[in-house]
Amino acid sequence: MRVGQQSGYDRFVIEFGGGVPSYTVTRQPNATFTRSPKGDQVTLEGSAGVLIVINSVNNWTSYSGPTAFHPQYPYLRQALLAENFEGYQQWALGIQGSPCLRVSLFTSPNRLVVDIAAG
Protein backbone atom coordinates (compact mmCIF):
# COMPACT_ATOMS: atom_id res chain seq x y z
CA MET A 1 0.00 0.00 0.00
CA ARG A 2 1.13 3.50 -0.66
CA VAL A 3 -0.19 7.00 -1.13
CA GLY A 4 1.00 9.77 -3.40
CA GLN A 5 0.14 13.15 -4.76
CA GLN A 6 0.08 14.23 -8.39
CA SER A 7 -0.88 17.51 -10.00
CA GLY A 8 -4.64 17.86 -9.39
CA TYR A 9 -5.27 14.58 -7.56
CA ASP A 10 -4.26 12.35 -4.67
CA ARG A 11 -3.60 8.64 -5.13
CA PHE A 12 -4.07 5.47 -3.05
CA VAL A 13 -2.39 2.33 -4.41
CA ILE A 14 -2.75 -1.33 -3.42
CA GLU A 15 -0.13 -3.59 -5.01
CA PHE A 16 -0.61 -7.36 -5.33
CA GLY A 17 1.95 -10.14 -5.68
CA GLY A 18 -0.43 -12.11 -7.93
CA GLY A 19 -3.51 -11.10 -9.86
CA VAL A 20 -5.86 -8.42 -8.58
CA PRO A 21 -8.65 -10.09 -6.56
CA SER A 22 -12.26 -8.97 -6.81
CA TYR A 23 -12.94 -5.62 -5.19
CA THR A 24 -15.46 -2.83 -4.70
CA VAL A 25 -14.87 0.88 -4.20
CA THR A 26 -17.78 2.69 -2.54
CA ARG A 27 -18.29 6.31 -1.52
CA GLN A 28 -19.95 7.14 1.75
CA PRO A 29 -21.29 10.45 3.10
CA ASN A 30 -19.10 10.46 6.20
CA ALA A 31 -15.67 9.32 7.36
CA THR A 32 -16.89 6.87 10.02
CA PHE A 33 -16.16 3.20 9.35
CA THR A 34 -16.82 -0.07 11.18
CA ARG A 35 -13.68 -2.07 11.84
CA SER A 36 -14.12 -5.76 11.29
CA PRO A 37 -14.24 -8.31 12.83
CA LYS A 38 -14.41 -6.39 16.15
CA GLY A 39 -17.30 -4.14 15.10
CA ASP A 40 -15.92 -0.98 16.71
CA GLN A 41 -16.19 2.29 14.81
CA VAL A 42 -13.43 4.66 13.82
CA THR A 43 -13.78 8.15 12.38
CA LEU A 44 -11.06 9.29 10.02
CA GLU A 45 -10.12 12.83 9.17
CA GLY A 46 -12.17 14.29 6.34
CA SER A 47 -15.77 15.13 5.60
CA ALA A 48 -16.61 11.97 3.60
CA GLY A 49 -15.27 8.49 3.02
CA VAL A 50 -14.39 5.81 0.52
CA LEU A 51 -14.47 2.11 1.41
CA ILE A 52 -12.35 -0.32 -0.61
CA VAL A 53 -13.26 -3.97 -0.05
CA ILE A 54 -10.96 -6.66 -1.44
CA ASN A 55 -12.23 -10.24 -1.52
CA SER A 56 -10.26 -13.49 -1.55
CA VAL A 57 -6.87 -12.00 -0.66
CA ASN A 58 -4.17 -14.65 -0.99
CA ASN A 59 -1.85 -14.94 2.01
CA TRP A 60 -3.82 -12.32 3.94
CA THR A 61 -2.09 -13.32 7.19
CA SER A 62 1.33 -12.51 5.75
CA TYR A 63 0.62 -8.81 5.13
CA SER A 64 3.16 -6.80 7.11
CA GLY A 65 3.02 -3.45 5.34
CA PRO A 66 1.72 -0.16 6.71
CA THR A 67 -1.83 -0.19 8.05
CA ALA A 68 -2.37 3.56 8.37
CA PHE A 69 -1.47 6.70 6.44
CA HIS A 70 -2.04 10.30 7.45
CA PRO A 71 -0.84 12.23 4.39
CA GLN A 72 -2.94 15.38 4.91
CA TYR A 73 -3.27 15.82 1.13
CA PRO A 74 -5.93 18.19 -0.22
CA TYR A 75 -8.43 15.35 -0.91
CA LEU A 76 -7.01 12.23 0.74
CA ARG A 77 -6.70 13.09 4.40
CA GLN A 78 -6.24 9.67 6.00
CA ALA A 79 -6.28 5.92 5.17
CA LEU A 80 -6.64 2.94 7.48
CA LEU A 81 -6.72 -0.84 7.11
CA ALA A 82 -10.11 -1.41 8.76
CA GLU A 83 -10.20 -5.18 8.17
CA ASN A 84 -7.71 -7.92 7.37
CA PHE A 85 -9.56 -11.09 8.28
CA GLU A 86 -10.10 -14.46 6.61
CA GLY A 87 -9.11 -13.30 3.14
CA TYR A 88 -10.92 -9.96 3.21
CA GLN A 89 -9.34 -6.56 3.45
CA GLN A 90 -11.14 -3.26 3.89
CA TRP A 91 -9.31 0.02 3.43
CA ALA A 92 -11.08 3.10 4.75
CA LEU A 93 -10.20 6.46 3.19
CA GLY A 94 -11.09 9.76 4.83
CA ILE A 95 -11.52 12.34 2.08
CA GLN A 96 -12.22 16.06 2.06
CA GLY A 97 -15.21 17.40 0.15
CA SER A 98 -16.91 15.57 -2.73
CA PRO A 99 -14.06 14.88 -5.12
CA CYS A 100 -14.26 12.68 -8.20
CA LEU A 101 -12.95 9.12 -7.98
CA ARG A 102 -11.14 7.27 -10.73
CA VAL A 103 -10.46 3.58 -10.18
CA SER A 104 -7.86 1.90 -12.40
CA LEU A 105 -6.04 -1.42 -12.67
CA PHE A 106 -2.40 -1.58 -13.75
CA THR A 107 0.04 -4.40 -14.40
CA SER A 108 3.79 -4.94 -13.92
CA PRO A 109 3.26 -4.95 -10.95
CA ASN A 110 -0.45 -5.68 -10.52
CA ARG A 111 -2.15 -2.90 -8.62
CA LEU A 112 -5.45 -1.24 -7.86
CA VAL A 113 -5.28 2.55 -8.00
CA VAL A 114 -7.83 5.00 -6.62
CA ASP A 115 -7.34 8.60 -7.72
CA ILE A 116 -9.18 11.29 -5.78
CA ALA A 117 -9.49 14.57 -7.70
CA ALA A 118 -11.28 17.91 -7.73
CA GLY A 119 -14.74 17.75 -9.35
Query: What is the CATH number for 24?
Result: 2.60.40.3500
Confidence of residue 41 (pLDDT cuts 50, 70, 90): very high
pLDDT above 90 coverage of the chain, percent: 73
Select from 3, 7, 18 the least CA-distant residue to 91. 3
Distance CA 68, CA 117 (A): 21
Which helix (H) or strand (E) is 66 found in, with range?
Answer: none
Predicted local confidence at residue 30, as pLDDT: 97
The boundaries of the domain holding residue 13 are 2-117
Report the pLDDT averaged over residues 72-98. Answer: 93
Tell me what pLDDT residue 18 has: 85
**Which pLDDT band, with edges at 50, 70 and 90, does 64 fall under?**
confident
How many structural domains is the chain composed of?
Answer: 1
Judged against a pLDDT cut of 80, whether residue 19 lies above it is answered with yes
